[in-house]
Structure 1
């Protein structure tokens, strides 16, 4: 079988990569072509993304492919969610896109809920209420008479805007649009009732397409710049988490996933949205997946806690992950437990002091060493995962017999084992490069190499090494979970 190459662009909120994927003998191989920073730019009290810098980096990656005479079959782009780009009637970008971290949306939900209830917004969209969702961004910009929005002919989400720069064709990819809180979760189209409430016409958006759709071919301009031919650009799962979940190497649909990194996202794939009073109360969200699936999930604090502690420890010693894990294993288990999603850990000036203060105020011993703090974080995350997993199964009514951990956090063997212990089910870790693999495999599905999710996941499963963890010490973890729930109910 001839080697088939695909080009993936994977853009996160702090960095981006271009990746070459090769499918050979029904297996996939990855090679990173370029890696580059993605900076938020602050100017005039606003926060922006430099979209042309990102476009420039994509072109650089394509130029390398051209120089190496690699014949790629297609190109796909995934990014973070919610942010948009304004395009005028001449097809030109009106301004750099605002970042979701721009402070103008802080009060937007409260202001919009004066016009339409919070329950109505959630009931129509199934998306958890977060002030930076596109719905609230556009409402805030409309309220402040944003001239770029007023002059826009089309509003494109980030991956769609970059695909437009490559092809000259405009689309709205479904999974990225589903993060906006502007899609009706059941109809899978823009909710005109909510758009009317914020004063935005549905005509401002390009037609919705689904993962696997061919957006168009590289424009003549891009062909001249890169030296490539008229290669098709595919609408992959434009939201990076959607691409990552597509790469879960599951053997059937009785699984949950945990996309593990700085933040953790735990959920299931479902055929329909789950929108009811309980899902609203528990703040679960319904985002688009591939082949008509819904990703029913919950956002959880992840390795953010340890990353912040490491930054403080670096002032005295740059502890490696093996050092931290070795020290954690030597610390006494279940002596210190926190609620990782407590507001006090959102962005404290000192994460170490915040953890110590939480333990003191909840009448626990106070951790002092880096090993004790690391163990506290890992065990607390595992217990929080159990709590969310329990709610997830109750809300969905789905039998789940395995948790797939994907993303960078899947390399953390200790946390993986603790998570298996806490949940009492098998945990399968890998792939760590889930987003890039999902992006590439959706391109492979578009090209006909694989036919559906099942065959795609079979190919992924045959291509990567995963590690399975079996639950241990169930009784001890049951007692620790009871302690955690008491702390959670009385959270400060």
Structure 2
């Protein structure tokens, strides 16, 4: 059978890739056509995304993919969640989109709670409370009297903006919309009453579409401007545009009772459910109900992931800006003493410190521990703390689900980190299946294939994953030592803290 090619743009908080998937009817073969950085820009105290630079990279990715792989059946974009752009009446950008780590949301959790109450927010949205959420970004704009809210005519999440520029179709895709904390999953619409109670306008909110929606042909003017063969018949398909939504669509699960960790800058640990879990226990545990593919929901919790290592690595850069390779850092961590100092990866002081190693050392001092001695010990502290936070969160997830998880699938960049995968198996006491690394791009591509009729269902898509990509299984070891560390970790979490866990 002649293979057919599809293009996925998978854009994360640090970098983006243009990945071509060639499907021959049995297996999917990936080719990286283009890779590019995603660098935020600071202006004074404000932090922005450079969305026009990203758009330029999309152009480059389309050209390279068509040149390297021939005609493309479709293209789709996934990105991180919560961040958005506002367009005016002429469909022009109103300012540059803000970065979710921008400090404007400081204090907005408390402000929203004071105005309408935490319970009402959760009942209306089912979403985990995090100050980066769109709800708090919009509330910050309301409090500041931002004129952009008055002038805006269209609100688009980041991948929706790129899809609009690709196709001319304005809509917000379900999986990313559910990250905003502005959507009511039980009503199947924006949480308009909640937004009105907070003084947030709703006139600019567009229709919500499901993953796998065909948005139309690639814009003819864009095709002409790119001057590349192989794009004339290309469709624009909205996959699960939230990168974790696509990553979960790329989990090669073969049993029902599994959990997943989408491991990257953030770690997202959860399970797939057919209905949102909007219960007092889910609120108490601060879980979220984000949209999935095929009418499902991702019941999960955001945990700070490799961000802590990324920021330590940045702090340890040479005077000329050279960064220590991740492999070297993890090799140093493997040689460091086990289960020493521990931190809560989600502590507020670790969200956006100027100096991550100093912030971790200060956390240890504040909690009565000796700070890690050296870079290897610092990285090991982070990885072991992440594994223990996974166990803590997995215990909560199993209480919500009402059953024990039999296996944890780790997908994304963290699947390459053998040390973290082994620590996760050890800490959680269940096998960990690592891979595929490119689960997000794969899930993006497979939803395009389902949309265009190349595959019949998401279950067919999972079978394609299992046939196409190698997986590595890590069995749990050293249970006693990890149990002792977990008892110490739980006691640390019970100490007074900056934000809910």
Q: What TM-score, normalized to structure 2?
A: 0.91
2:480 to 467, 475, 482: 475
Q: CA deviation at 1:68?
A: 4.6
1:489 counterpart = 2:494: yes
Q: Cα–Cα, structure 1 residues 148 and 44, in superposed 2: closer, same or farther, change >3 Å?
A: farther
Q: CA deviation at 1:348?
A: 4.2
- Stretches of structure 2 lacking an aligned partner (at least 5 in a row): none
- Distance in 2 separating the partners of 1:370 and 1:28: 39
- Specify the SS of the correspondent of 1:441: helix
2:247 to 240, 244, 249: 244
- 8 Å Cα contact 2:176/2:241 also seen in 1: yes
- Name the residue aligned to 1:208: 208
- Name the residue aligned to 1:163: 163
- Distance in 2 separating the partners of 1:66 and 1:128: 40
- Name the residue aligned to 2:459: 454
- Specify the SS of the correspondent of 1:20: strand
- Name the residue aligned to 1:263: 266
Q: Cα–Cα, structure 1 residues 364 and 194, in superposed 2: closer, same or farther, change >3 Å?
A: closer
- 8 Å Cα contact 1:342/1:491 also seen in 2: no
Q: CA deviation at 1:198?
A: 3.9
Q: CA deviation at 1:432?
A: 1.1
- Name the residue aligned to 1:148: 148
- Distance in 2 separating the partners of 1:340 and 1:102: 19
- Name the residue aligned to 2:378: 373
- Name the residue aligned to 2:304: 301
Q: How does 1:70-469 map to 2 (within 5 A)?
A: 70-200=70-200, 202-227=202-227, 228-315=231-318, 320-360=325-365, 362-364=367-369, 366-469=371-474
- Distance in 2 separating the partners of 1:407 and 1:85: 26
Q: CA deviation at 1:255?
A: 0.7
Q: CA deviation at 1:281?
A: 2.2
Q: Cα–Cα, structure 1 residues 331 and 35, in superposed 2: closer, same or farther, change >3 Å?
A: closer
- Distance in 2 separating the partners of 1:309 and 1:206: 40
Q: CA deviation at 1:203?
A: 4.5
- Distance in 2 separating the partners of 1:51 and 1:314: 26
Q: Cα–Cα, structure 1 residues 367 and 449, in superposed 2: closer, same or farther, change >3 Å?
A: same
- 8 Å Cα contact 1:185/1:273 also seen in 2: yes
- Name the residue aligned to 1:30: 30
RMSD over aligned CA atoms reads 2.5
- Specify the SS of the correspondent of 2:237: strand
Q: Cα–Cα, structure 1 residues 147 and 322, in superposed 2: closer, same or farther, change >3 Å?
A: closer
Q: CA deviation at 1:249?
A: 0.7
Q: CA deviation at 1:143?
A: 3.8
Q: CA deviation at 1:491?
A: 5.8
Moved more, 202-211 or 240-249: 202-211
Q: Cα–Cα, structure 1 residues 203 and 338, in superposed 2: closer, same or farther, change >3 Å?
A: closer
- Specify the SS of the correspondent of 1:175: helix
- Stretches of structure 1 lacking an aligned partner (at least 5 in a row): none
Q: CA deviation at 1:420?
A: 0.6
Moved more, 282-291 or 57-66: 57-66
- 8 Å Cα contact 1:274/1:396 also seen in 2: no
Q: Cα–Cα, structure 1 residues 379 and 12, in superposed 2: closer, same or farther, change >3 Å?
A: closer
Q: CA deviation at 1:201?
A: 5.3
- Distance in 1 separating the partners of 2:23 and 2:418: 28
Q: Cα–Cα, structure 1 residues 479 and 32, in superposed 2: closer, same or farther, change >3 Å?
A: same
- Distance in 1 separating the partners of 2:165 and 2:223: 12
Q: What TM-score, normalized to structure 1?
A: 0.92
- 8 Å Cα contact 1:75/1:443 also seen in 2: yes
Moved more, 167-176 or 189-198: 189-198
Q: CA deviation at 1:99?
A: 2.8
- 8 Å Cα contact 2:13/2:265 also seen in 1: no
- 8 Å Cα contact 1:171/1:208 also seen in 2: yes
Aligned residues: 492
Q: Cα–Cα, structure 1 residues 21 and 136, in superposed 2: closer, same or farther, change >3 Å?
A: same
- Specify the SS of the correspondent of 1:204: coil
